[in-house]
Structure 1
Amino acid sequence: MKRQFLFYFILISFTISAQEKFGTYKCPISVKPFDISIYTSKDSTYLLNIDMFSNDKINKKGGIWISNENHKEFTDKINEAKIKYSEWVKVAKQNNVKDFYKEMDINFRVLIAYFYYGNKITQQMGVDLKFSFSVIANNLSLIIRTGELKSISNEFMIHQGFMFVFRSEKEISDFLNKISISKVNDFIKKPKVKDLFKN
């Protein structure tokens, strides 16, 4: 109940401004791109809402929320994983490795993961992302997973989780560039169309 109250308190704090689409990013295992959007409040705090690839066969829509307070740590962890990914890619190629999986010693807890269960949106608070390296034939991937998710309002509403998949350093860099703190701040400061037309 405490977690549910905290979630609604956070959400109410950001209802001052509507959710705005910030951009999209590509995933190599998906045909269509995934949305990135932003909730902002009057004091310039924000939530970055990032859709992810679904591991659930039925419920496909969902992702994670990153707050302005842990935005830098989130990108730092992905940069750390990028360095390790680059190192392991070289090892895999040098040794002709074609089938391999290993978790990285990198963890990050996101504020909230959200998912749709049927047509109902729900959330799990405090989700630990797991970083891993995967080799399947010629596909060498950095995978970042949420793991299984459970609704804060109904323990029987379970989702198989979401993941980011990157298959090159460039894909990782492009994603980090899209969600950079500087770009988010520029977006927030940019005048909204409705504010350009004053009475």
Structure 2
Amino acid sequence: MKIKLVFLVCIFLISNASFAEKTVGSYSSSYFNKVYDIEAGEIKNGKFSVYIQVPAKSDNRTMVLIESDQIKEFNSILLQMKDKFVEWSKVAKDNNVTELSKSMDLRLPKTTICWQGSKWFFSFGQKLQPSFMILESGKHVVTLVQKVTSSSNQYIDETIYWVFADPQEIDELIAQLDFDKIKSKLEEDKNSSDLFQ
């Protein structure tokens, strides 16, 4: 019972906290013809949180949250995902495959999906799995689609539609998720802020 109470208090505090993150990068999606932000939270004990904006079913601001100590593993899976994208696209073209939807045997490290409704909602412990698809238009894409439910309210849900229509888009995201560059941007911001005490 005590653990449940602590968990609920944490959920309440997190969902009512204002997002005071700094934009540290962006990446583009040709599928949605849009640029999405990458933000990071304040450095605490050498660590920080990274928020990757993703497309969602609603027009609400939706983010995939990873911790700084997950960046290396996250990027490693993204790189494997890109390599599979290139490989499977070639196989499909070489063999005239025009219809396909196949899950990749990969999973991103556990993340939190957060989205803004009347307040911020969070769905913890999500493991996103990419799929390779050939669309009716003949376009090859990799998708990470997942319906999630708020950890604090089972009646609140969201669905993310993270689509990469070109392997270079994955490379672009990996380049933006650089631990040292993000940390440097956060430190610059803190140093500038410290000048005006």
TM more than 0.5: yes
Partner residue in 2 for 1:143: 143
Partner residue in 1 for 2:97: 97
- Compute the RMSD of aligned alpha carbons: 2.4
Alignment of 1:1-199 (within 5 A): 1=4, 3-7=7-11, 11=14, 18-54=20-56, 56=57, 58-117=58-117, 119-136=118-135, 137-145=137-145, 147-159=146-158, 161-192=159-190, 193-195=192-194, 197-198=195-196
Structure showing the higher strand proportion among its residues = 1
For the 8 Å contact 2:53–2:62, the answer to whether it is kept is yes
User: In structure 2, how many angstroms separate the alpha carbons of the residues matched to 1:131 and 1:140?
Assistant: 13
Pick closer, same or farther for the CA change 1:74–1:7 going to 2, 3 Å: farther
- C-alpha deviation, 1:109, in angstroms: 3.7
Between the two structures, name the one with larger relative contact order (CA 8 Å, sep ≥ 6). Answer: 2
Identity %: 22
Pick closer, same or farther for the CA change 1:134–1:107 going to 2, 3 Å: same
Runs of 4+ more than 3 Å apart: 1-9
Pick closer, same or farther for the CA change 1:109–1:130 going to 2, 3 Å: same
SS in 2 for 1:163: strand
Pick closer, same or farther for the CA change 1:4–1:65 going to 2, 3 Å: farther
User: In structure 2, how many angstroms separate the alpha carbons of the residues matched to 1:78 and 1:3?
Assistant: 31
CA offsets 1:139-158 (integer angstroms, 9 cap, x no match): 1111123x111111111112
CA offsets 1:5-51 (integer angstroms, 9 cap, x no match): 45567x59x98x93111122111222331111101233221000111
User: In structure 2, how many angstroms separate the alpha carbons of the residues matched to 1:3 and 1:50?
Assistant: 24
User: In structure 2, how many angstroms separate the alpha carbons of the residues matched to 1:114 and 1:198?
Assistant: 32
For the 8 Å contact 1:24–1:36, the answer to whether it is kept is yes
For the 8 Å contact 1:65–1:110, the answer to whether it is kept is no
Structure showing the higher helix proportion among its residues = 2
Q: TM-score, normalised by structure 2?
A: 0.84
CA offsets 1:93-139 (integer angstroms, 9 cap, x no match): 1112222110001112433111123x322111101101110111331
Q: TM-score, normalised by structure 1?
A: 0.84
